[in-house]
Amino acid sequence: MRSPIVAAVAISVGLIILLGYFLPLRQFIDLRLILLDWSVLLAAVAGLVAIINLIINHVKRITQTNKFDLFSIVLILSFLATFVTGMLLGPSNPQFEKVVTHIQIPIEASLLGVLTISLAVAAFKFFQNRKGWASTVFLVSVVVFLLMSSWLLTFGQNIPVINELLSAIKILPLAGARGILLGIALGSLATGIRILMGADRPYSG
């Protein structure tokens, strides 16, 4: 994978896809769509390989150890039940989607609850270890937005001035999220340019 031919193929594919977005030529557009379809197919195969590897590791954990691993058994049985049901009924079956949704949403809600508690503990530890104006602003912001997301400040929504103030404060997280997305976009752009120039070669292993 460190061959110059591999780098030339990767750079050529990147340039063709980039030109397909900016040049209104039918040849570039058709070739870009074909390459994108190939990339989606390769990503799906990579995901399938990762799932198979996960199942094999849990099967080995059950068979090669003397301990009764309940979590591995539940994972394998859940995967087989979901896979077989999805293959028989199809992923767009309403009943299948309903069952998956009713299982997935409580799990995601539980994970978000654990993540919230973990972030709150990390914020307080950050304030204890690094005291200063930045940590103070961070801690105050966390407390304010947690209170705004709860029921404690709902009484102020009927007062015009407080309602406008709360609405203005609620916009601040959106501005921060847009700043993060902008940073991600600029970082992705810089990484893409470095890959097209051959400076970075993540495909070389």
Residue at token pair 């539980």: 110
Question: What local confidence, expressed as pLDDT, does residue 49 receive?
Answer: 92
How many C-beta neighbours within 10 Å does residue 103 have?
12
Least Cα distance to 40 among 28, 32, 52 occurs for: 32
d(CA 140, CA 147): 11
Q: Is-contact 48 40, C-beta < 8 A? A: no
Question: What local confidence, expressed as pLDDT, does residue 53 receive?
Answer: 92
How many C-beta neighbours within 10 Å does residue 19 have?
15
Least Cα distance to 140 among 126, 153, 129 occurs for: 126
d(CA 113, CA 95): 28
Question: What local confidence, expressed as pLDDT, does residue 70 receive?
Answer: 81
d(CA 8, CA 201): 11
In order along its 205 residues, the chain shows pLDDT tens digits of 456 777 777 778 878 887 777 777 777 778 888 888 888 898 889 988 998 998 888 888 888 766 677 888 888 888 888 888 888 888 788 888 888 888 888 888 899 888 888 877 877 777 777 777 777 777 777 777 777 766 666 665 666 676 777 777 777 777 777 888 888 988 888 887 887 777 766 666 5
